[in-house]
Chain A
Amino acid sequence: MATTLPEPPKIERDRLPSQGSGNGGWRNLVPASADPRQVKDYSPPPASTGIWVGLAAITMTFAAFTSALVVRQGGAPDWRHITLPPVLYLNTLLIVASSVTLEIARRRVAAFMGGLKDPAANPARWLFVTLFLGLSFVAGQTYAWLQLKAQGFGLATNVSYSFFYVLTVAHAVHLVGGIGGLVRVVGKLNKSVLRRSTLDATSRYWHFMGVLWVYLLFLLWMKL
């Protein structure tokens, strides 16, 4: 799929203190009767803060699942070891690779936005690779669920499987959100309205999904 790029996307509006809201900064007191333009300290764009706040919430959710797993395992006579479907390890490779490709894409797009217009290196190309890897991961996870299902291991078969399904599905749902974010980034890039902070926030989210998956895999491998 070719992406046409008539012009580099708009660079983020520099948040000069003289413009609009959002310049509170951390400690930029305007001295009484002084010139407000003296203030140099200004806030980061909301998206970069917002994504960290969002990731904090997701971390809490998975921390809750983890503690549920630990407590549930603690006093359980019915805790059984299960073998994780091997396809998960392939999926791990996919998601790690997608992080790498996204990082390449991010740098290319950033350079592109910075004015390095190189028609030969379509900056969206690596985004498509990332998207493909992300979708392959979801497909791989689906394959793992179907495989378990075919072997007769359902959600309620044993608590180990319950946790397996709950954690992997919860992660996949969040990852699909990330895929939506990437699609948005591609769309905005095409329309030349992409902001640098959107790109950074989306890639932070995506990397976090990768880290979260590696953590979950470790947790499942160790506990289940």
Chain B
Amino acid sequence: MHDMSAPAAHHGAPTSFIRKHVFSLDHKVIGKQYYALALLAALIGMALSWIMRIHLGWGNFAIPGLHLLSSTGAPGNVLTPEYYLQLMTMHGTIMVFFVLTTAPFAAFGNFFLPIQTGAEDMPFPHFNMMSFWVTFVGFWVLIASFFVGDGPTLGGWTQYAPLSAIGSVGGPGQGLGVVLWATSIAIFCIGQLLGSLNFITTTLDMRCKGMSLMRLPLTAWAWFITSVMGLTAFAVLMPACILLILDHVAGTSFFVASNLVINDQVLPHSGGSTLLWQHLFWFFGHPEVYIAIVPGMGIVSHVLITNMRKPMLSHRVLIYSMAALAVLSYMVYGHHMFVSGMNPVSSLAFSFPTLVITIPSTIVVLMWLGSLYGSKLQINSASLFSLGFISMFISGGVSGFFLAQPSIDIMLHATYFVVGHFHLVMGVAAMFGIFAGTYFWFPKMTGRMMSEPLGKAHFWLSFVGAYCIFMPFHYLGIAGNVRRYQAFTDDYLIPLIPVHKFITIAALITGFAQLIFVYNLIYSRFKGPVETDNPWQGTSLEWSTATPPPHNNFGATMPVVYHDPYQYSVEGASSDFVMQTSPEKINNPNEEK
């Protein structure tokens, strides 16, 4: 066990390359490592989505070199139905776990949470280092499933039992593939639990002088709320994965019912509960959606405030709304299971809190819109992506009205409507949050600016492209287009194939735009213009320290905080913005006293 009592930054600055850049205890290095892992995972996930989209648009199109990935999965470079599902499962798993959880939460949170709270480091740096390396191992365990046995699992990222629990009789990838999947996710859970432990303790105990909880920036609050969700959600997913592995390798019957017959053979399991897996999974799964999106809300608010030169209408209301989302997210998970065979009365019981969750979401959107009013909005890549986030969040959010109602869910469940909904609201919106954070914080993380023209090109293609991809998903869903199909052979689906072709083209173009981002990221890291400590004239603590921040974040003297986080355009102040560390006396009636 790690020494729980060690105060932060008791570790001196490392000198060897390994301790500095590989097994580093420094939260900033760990944050960058998480970012790099997320970037790699995102590129793999995107490549998988390209392959899937091409297959959905032009089923017989041979993608050169694909057989190198799997000669049985893609004979003649054309995907087989099972390999499509296998790639789809990997796309979902990689994106949800290793991109949407790691990038906005673990990567940015690690880098900036201690700085924004005025801490020297996380309280348990060894746990923090373990958190990353455990996640790293989890990622490669998952990737390994491409190359062992008959490939990765085809059960979808939700991995419904009993298909996932019966072993290789279930189909290709259901043998070793599922075991690797569940192992990878269980490992990932451990990593995120260690991370959440650090995040929560940092927020509660490591704040510098004068940094009351309400003086924390919205990003810090978002990460704090996310880590509380992560702590509870991943602590439930891990035991579920352990039970799944046991069903698989030890022949237990947690999830596999009696008398199941496959290939004319009765399976040896008995009495397991099919719905148990779904309950455990979605108890994690729904908060996971908020784990992906709440950090984005924080980042977007933070970026917008700086670029609007005014604080949010109400700091507290935003915090309370995010907290309400977190609490409600545990009460609504059953809306994923309306037609699962669960008691129909509980469907109604889950429906109402789901509808209620639109209230805090609406408040958050109204806060953003109301704060835009009367602002001095500056347009740059970071603020464009933030505004794009709001647009995407609205578009993805309104479709939630439909899916929250069990009666309409009868028609829309498991169709592309659902796919469109969650891609917009937790995929694209969360990605836009990551992009906004990247453009905004890149100068602090590296000391250099990213290229604005490239950033804007990236934004325009991504914004229009994402709508071209995911809006039509909703139309397909309304027309009854079932998801997780590798080809559309049903009579009523054939007329929809042109829509799929359109989406494929849009997806390829949008994917290309992401390569611009990657180029921008790498080019600017080495060749971008060198920036000052506070290029955006921000007020929170990360802008009062040097760029890049020294090993203990603030150098010789630790900061003292005198103000609320966002003192912009304060009347009577000496400049447009008053930093949190500035002892200047200002007359702001809204500031906490």
Contacts and interface: CB of A to CB of B under 8 A. Distances in A.
A63 B7 CA distance: 31
B563 interface: yes
Interface residues of B, number: 68
Contact of B7 (A22, A54, A61): A22
Contact of A159 (B196, B210, B232, B272): B272
Query: Most B CB atoms within 10 A — which of A21, A60, A72, A166?
Result: A21
Nearest to A167: B239
A21 B593 contact: no
Contacts of A26: 212-213
A102 to B, nearest CB: 15
A67 interface: yes
A36 B560 CA distance: 8
A33 B212 contact: no
Given A25-B207, A60-B231, A30 B1 contact: no
A219 interface: no
A45 B8 CA distance: 10
Contacts of B205: 22, 24, 43-46, 49
A38 B6 CA distance: 26
Nearest to B273: A72
A50 B252 contact: no
B562 A30 contact: yes
B243 interface: yes
Contact of B562 (A24, A33, A74): A33
B250 A47 contact: no
Contact of A76 (B117, B240, B273, B592): B273
A190 interface: no
Contacts of B231: 53, 56-57, 60
B1 A72 contact: no
A156 interface: yes
B226 interface: no
Nearest to B200: A53
Given A43-B205, A53-B231, A198 B210 contact: no
Given A20-B7, A60-B232, A61-B236, A28 B212 contact: yes
B3 interface: yes
A108 B1 CA distance: 23
Interface string B229-261: 001101110111011001000111110001000
Query: Most B CB atoms within 10 A — which of A13, A17, A57, A78?
Result: A57
B453 interface: no
Nearest to A50: B201
B549 interface: no
B208 A21 contact: yes
Contacts of B561: 30
A74 B215 CA distance: 48
B251 A29 contact: no
A191 to B, nearest CB: 12
A23 interface: yes
B316 to A, nearest CB: 14
Query: Most A CB atoms within 10 A — which of B8, B208, B209, B252?
Result: B209
A-B pairs, top 10 by smallest CB distance, nearest first, are A24-B207, A46-B123, A30-B210, A78-B271, A60-B235, A198-B5, A47-B4, A47-B5, A156-B251, A195-B5
